[in-house]
A and B are shown apart, each in its own frame.
Chain A
Amino acid sequence: MRKLRVLSAGAVTAVLALTACTTDEPADTTDEVDQAAEQPDDGGQSSEGSGDEWFVQAEYEKQLAQRDKEPEGPADKPWLQAIDPEYVETAEYAQDGNTLCFSNASVANPWRVTGWITMQQQVQVYKDSGDIGEFRVSDAGGDDNKQISDIQAFVDAGDCNAIIISPSTTATLTPAVEAACQSGVPVIVFDRGVNTDCMVTFIHPIGGYAYGADGAEFLVENLEPGSKVLALRILPGVDVLEHRWAAAQEIFADSDLEILGNEFTEGDAATIKDTVTQYLQRGEVDGIWMDAGDGAVAAVEAFEDTGNDYPVMVGEDELGFMRKWKETGMTAIAPAYSNFQWRTPIEAAVKIWNGEKVPSEWVLPQEPITEEDRDEYLDRNEGMPDLHYAKFGGEDLPGFPEAWQDR
């Protein structure tokens, strides 16, 4: 019996070793290829500066520069603004119908739920005006394969006059989006991108590098040199989140801050609180950087419950965090991944149908909320639930505020 156990333990080890050898080599070589492909706009730019495979220097610099650019378009309607737009003519996409199809990755987190409500309200406006007839939606529940099927189903059905896609994962949906483009229907991609530029317009806020940098720069400015910072992240392998962390690492590397660690929490409040508590047991934590604000309040509470001073905090424009921020008076910043972008694809679809030109890459403004404009945003969003996002941009829609309050 013992011999058999040893044998099988050996087998397990062998299996693990085998798995390791067969993948190591190709993984390293192809990642770089893939990385270059990931950034179609900078084609071929190799990563330099940081050794991180998610870091692309040119894109990083571009995003950081875009933060200071004045966007074109109406200042009171940020979802219609665009940074450095290059317009494309859309006459060729004229349609004889107005059925709008939307393939949604998921509504699995509060940020997406908030945006999804905003989008539905925007659709209602155009339905009332007659610009949009039917609005057909499929939700993939976060499953890339389902989303590919959903997109195929739209293409096969043949009666969509425009397809909006919010991809679940950047790389994996590329073939499906290309197939949708080939069907001749105007395709609009927003939020996360795909590795192709076949769509009419790709709508997104400035991006993950800018988001990560906003928070990291704030920590560098507000902490003494030598201060200790803990980074809390949701999960590995998601490009929009990895870009935030890559930018933060880049900035921390040039500073005198000490990074205690970076921990994956899956956005779970209990995990976050426990993790922060344990770091506090071991020593001081002066600042917290988060790649998304989910559970930021729990992180702050860990400091309260252990009797420590509030850290310098990087959260997000989630109201729960902003309320806590005001209540405690701590030093903080709320980077925002412009939630109002959920309105833009609808506007874009209607523009395309009307033959109006749209930016081929529609870069929306993306600004963090600071202590100066915090109270203004809190006033604007009074009565909204804690898991609502301050920059949702739907204040002028007819359903406001009930649609966002009674979810």
Chain B
Amino acid sequence: MEDAHRFREEDMPRLLTVQDLVVEMPGRNIKILNGVSFSLDTGQTLGLVGESGCGKSMTCYAIGNMLPHGLAQTGGSVDLSSNATPSKAGKPKISMIFQDPTSSLNPVHTIGYYLESALHRHQGLKGSDARMEAMRLLERVGIDRVKSRLRSYPHQFSGGMNQRVMIAHALAAKPELLIADEPTTALDVTMQAQILHLLEELKAETGMALIIVSHDLGVIARLADEAAVMYCGKIVETAPVEDLLARPAHPYARALIDCMPSIDASDLEPPVPIPGSVPLLDCLPHGCYFHPRCSRASSQCTAQFPSSAIVGPAHQAACYHPVAA
């Protein structure tokens, strides 16, 4: 087991390696992503967490090669290599699901068209084969009366059902990596739980890797093996998810955990908000980007951005004054 593990570490390329990724607005000196690095193996789940505007979604778009108009990758690399099918040529497939499922579905096309055209594109299925497979996928993601649903339009479905449709669509590509960008943010709480449960099941079933983006640490804790905390276009801490929740090293990670409300009766402490707000990307503070909001900041923090340091097993943080375990 140990040997197998070592073999993989040393000889097999990882499914996804992101190295020093930089995304900028060309012409303006604004770095949306500023040196993001991480990697992911088949079957692993990475959670990206952070406040709005920290670059979580942009990281996903860069990996999926779908940066919005006006943004460009100006540095670093995104490497995908397939372990599961080494003989098969081509890159492993990535599928994405998005925050607002209803507006991510084309309003003029039926669910059937949407799924069948994806099945044709990714698996070469046509006609009744595609229709059968589309119905199977819809059933798999928990939609009933699938035959009539194929003729429905997205506006006839609830947000939760549309997210299921998006997941079914993502599965049509038989992805080795599924990127879920805030998949439950626009849904109500019961629907959130169902969608998370579905993602868990599908992950176990297909063995695909998953990147889940959320500002909700609860979602990350439930699904992810590893978590990466982002702030202003940089990853400031990475750790196995239990480790991060139990022993956050970066004051920002600590603060994110402290501002989570708890329904535990023994924990009567009110959530602590993080003072201040995320700085604008065109006027980032000198040194560590978090220091103006950080209680532990020293003169060192204002001088230079701290490099990532090992603070525990598989646990790294970019901080001069990490919170003691």
Bind each other = no
Residues of A participating in the B interface, judged by any CB pair closer than 8 Å: none
Residues of B participating in the A interface, judged by any CB pair closer than 8 Å: none
